[in-house]
């Protein structure tokens, strides 16, 4: 039974809930059982002078010096308390600093810490780096399209048909691959693309639409397109080639926009600042893209020896670029609506011309025929795309100047 007396020895702590049971004794006393039983005078002698070592007038100051980084960056006392505990300071240690517990010690340290130093500038959100994969992939549609156009020019008859089909397929796949990654990719891949059909229609119209409309107004078309630019249903390959080549500059300008916007994000103090800084950036990027597209169009026209339809290609390019830029920043709804409306308008113009051939419907086509005979077939897509692009530009200046559009992507842990 004598053994149970051991449990009540004063040097062993009384149990849970009584952390202060030893009431402010220095830690040295805790070793007393060992000392008494070992009865080592040497050790006891050593320990005596060690006691006043920390007995300076202000023990907290030394502690604060040791944890000064913690004190300087703490936003409230509990943060200091958590940090101190992580460094092994307990309530019993806190008694050495004449505090009841770590919390009150932390409060004193928080109150005494100097937080005058300027807050370190918040690290800019890492701007996305240009990466080789998307940079190369965006070159692919242009290259393949150029190859397809060359193949169509060099072949005849049925092989030309095969070349055109293969070229279309290749360009479509390349475009899909190019838009899957890089700055023009959609933020959430899971959502289905809403505007793919209508984008395809718009591009197809740029390729075939003017010839069809011309032919329709003149009473045709009498034959299927042959693939030649001078046939009865001419193929206008220049805008499509220029647009395909413009994939790369579109991706680069979008990348530039993202990177610059991130930098502005880090530099601006409030949301108004940010909007004011991003608006000219957006317009500049847009103008840059149009400039590059113009150059590409000129070069393509010269290479293919065709007239360059500047107005309709530039409006279509602007529309597609803005739509993709908005989609890439998470605003997929408005671009989808606008693209659908534009494509519907173009389709309606064609349909009206064909409907007017029915008896009694002749009046329907008057506006379209007037347009086509006065200014040419290109005015229909120019007007449709121009209005749509303008609408999207206004929308983009409102949406893309918001800070939330440029929030760094969530880390998917």
Partner 1 sequence: MRIGLLTEGGYPYVSGDARLWCDRLVRGLGQHEFDVYALSRSQHQEDEGWIPLPPNVRGVRTAPMWTAEDDEVVLGRRARRRFTECFGELAAVLSGASGGAPPVARGAAGGASVAAKGFAEGASAPEADRFANALYGLAELARETGGLVGALRSEAAVRTLERACRAPGAHRTVREARVPDLLAVAAHLERALRPLSLDWYEDDGLGAVDLCHAASGGPAALPGLLARHFTGVPLLVTEYGVRLRTHYLSAPDAPPAVRSLLAAFHGRLAAEAYARAEVVTAGNTHARRWQERCGADREKLRTVYPGMDARPFAEVGESPECADPDTLVWVGRVEPAKDLVSLLHAFAEIRKRQPKTRLRIVGAPAGAEGTAYLGHCRTLAAQLFPDEADGPHATGDNPVSFEEIGGPELPALADAYASGAVTVLSSVVEGFPISLVEAMLCGRVTVSTDVGAVVEVIGGTGIVVPPRNPRALAEACVALLRDPARRARLGAAARARALELFTVEQNIEAFHGIYLEIVSRAPIRRVVLDEAGAPLPFAVPAEDHVPIRWAAPSPSLVVRGGPGWAARPVRATTPVPATAPEGAR
The residues near 250 (Cβ < 8 Å, ≥ 6 apart) are 138, 184, 289, 321, 324
Which of 24, 28, 61, 154 is in the footprint of partner 1 by CB under 8 A?
28
Contact call for residues 257 and 413 (beta carbons, < 8 A):
no
Question: Taking CB under 8 A as the rule, does residue 82 contact partner 1?
Answer: yes
Question: Taking CB under 8 A as the rule, does residue 19 contact partner 1?
Answer: yes
Between 110 and 252, whose beta carbon lies closer to partner 1?
110
Stretch that binds partner 1, among 212-220, 239-247, 264-272, 372-380 (CB under 8 A): 264-272
Question: Taking CB under 8 A as the rule, does residue 126 contact partner 1?
Answer: no
Cα separation of the two ends of the chain:
58
Between 236 and 329, whose beta carbon lies closer to partner 1?
329
171 burial class (0-12, 13-18, 19+ CB within 10 angstroms)? buried
Question: Taking CB under 8 A as the rule, does residue 65 contact partner 1?
Answer: no
Rg (CA), the chain: 37
Between 43 and 366, whose beta carbon lies closer to partner 1?
43
Q: For residue 243, give both structure tokens.
A: 């647009």
Question: Taking CB under 8 A as the rule, does residue 58 contact partner 1?
Answer: no
* Shortest reach from residue 32's CB to partner 1, in Å: 10
Q: Please give the torsion angle defined by the CA atoms of residues 246, 248, 253 and 257, in that order, rounded to the nearest 10 degrees.
A: 130
Question: Taking CB under 8 A as the rule, does residue 51 contact partner 1?
Answer: no
Question: Taking CB under 8 A as the rule, does residue 355 contact partner 1?
Answer: no
Question: Taking CB under 8 A as the rule, does residue 85 contact partner 1?
Answer: yes
Contact call for residues 239 and 267 (beta carbons, < 8 A):
no
Which of 63, 64, 67, 83 is in the footprint of partner 1 by CB under 8 A?
83
Which of 55, 65, 122, 219 is in the footprint of partner 1 by CB under 8 A?
122
Q: Among residue numbers 158 through 197, which ones bind partner 1 (CB under 8 A)?
A: 188, 190-191
Residue ranges in 269-309 assigned as alpha helix (H): 271-304
Question: Taking CB under 8 A as the rule, does residue 15 contact partner 1?
Answer: yes
* Shortest reach from residue 46's CB to partner 1, in Å: 8
Contact call for residues 329 and 405 (beta carbons, < 8 A):
yes
Helix (H, G, I), strand (E, B) or coil at 340: helix
């Amino acid at each position: 039974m004598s053994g149970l007396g051991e449990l009540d020895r004063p040097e062993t702590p009384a149990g849970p809930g009584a952390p202060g049971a030893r009431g402010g004794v220095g830690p040295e006393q805790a070793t007393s059982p060992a000392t008494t039983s070992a009865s080592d005078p040497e050790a006891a002698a050593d320990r005596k002078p060690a006691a006043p070592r920390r007995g300076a007038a202000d023990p907290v100051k030394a502690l604060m010096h040791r944890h000064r980084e913690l004190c300087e960056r703490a936003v409230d006392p509990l943060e200091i308390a958590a940090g101190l505990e992580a460094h092994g300071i307990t309530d019993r240690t806190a008694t050495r600093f004449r505090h009841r517990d770590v919390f009150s010690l932390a409060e004193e340290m928080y109150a005494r810490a100097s937080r005058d130093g300027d807050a370190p500038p918040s690290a800019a959100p890492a701007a996305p780096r240009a990466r080789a994969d998307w940079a190369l992939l965006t070159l692919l549609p242009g290259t393949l399209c150029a190859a397809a156009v060359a193949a169509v020019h060099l072949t005849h008859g049925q092989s030309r048909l095969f070349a055109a089909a293969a070229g279309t397929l290749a360009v479509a796949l390349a475009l899909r691959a190019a838009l899957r990654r890089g700055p023009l990719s959609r933020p959430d891949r899971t959502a289905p693309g809403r505007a793919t059909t209508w984008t395809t229609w718009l591009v197809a119209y740029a390729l075939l639409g003017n010839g069809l409309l011309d032919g329709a107004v003149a009473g045709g078309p009498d034959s299927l397109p042959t693939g030649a630019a001078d046939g009865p249903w001419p193929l206008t390959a220049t805008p499509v080639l220029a647009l395909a080549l413009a994939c790369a500059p579109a991706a680069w300008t979008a990348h530039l926009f993202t990177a610059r916007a991130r930098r502005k994000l880090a530099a601006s103090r409030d949301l108004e600042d940010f909007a004011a800084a991003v608006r000219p950036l957006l317009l500049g990027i847009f103008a840059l893209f149009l400039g590059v597209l113009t150059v590409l169009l000129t070069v393509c026209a010269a290479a293919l020896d065709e007239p360059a339809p500047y107005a309709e290609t530039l409006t279509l390019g602007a529309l597609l670029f803005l739509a993709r830029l908005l989609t890439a920043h998470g605003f997929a709804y408005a671009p989808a609506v606008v693209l659908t409306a534009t494509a519907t308008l173009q389709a309606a113009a064609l349909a009206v011309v064909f409907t007017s051939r029915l008896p009694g419907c002749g009046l329907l086509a008057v506006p379209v025929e007037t347009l086509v005979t006065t200014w040419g077939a290109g005015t229909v897509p120019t007007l449709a795309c121009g209005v749509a692009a303008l609408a999207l530009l206004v929308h983009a200046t409102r949406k893309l100047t918001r800070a939330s559009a440029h929030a760094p992507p969530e880390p998917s842990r």
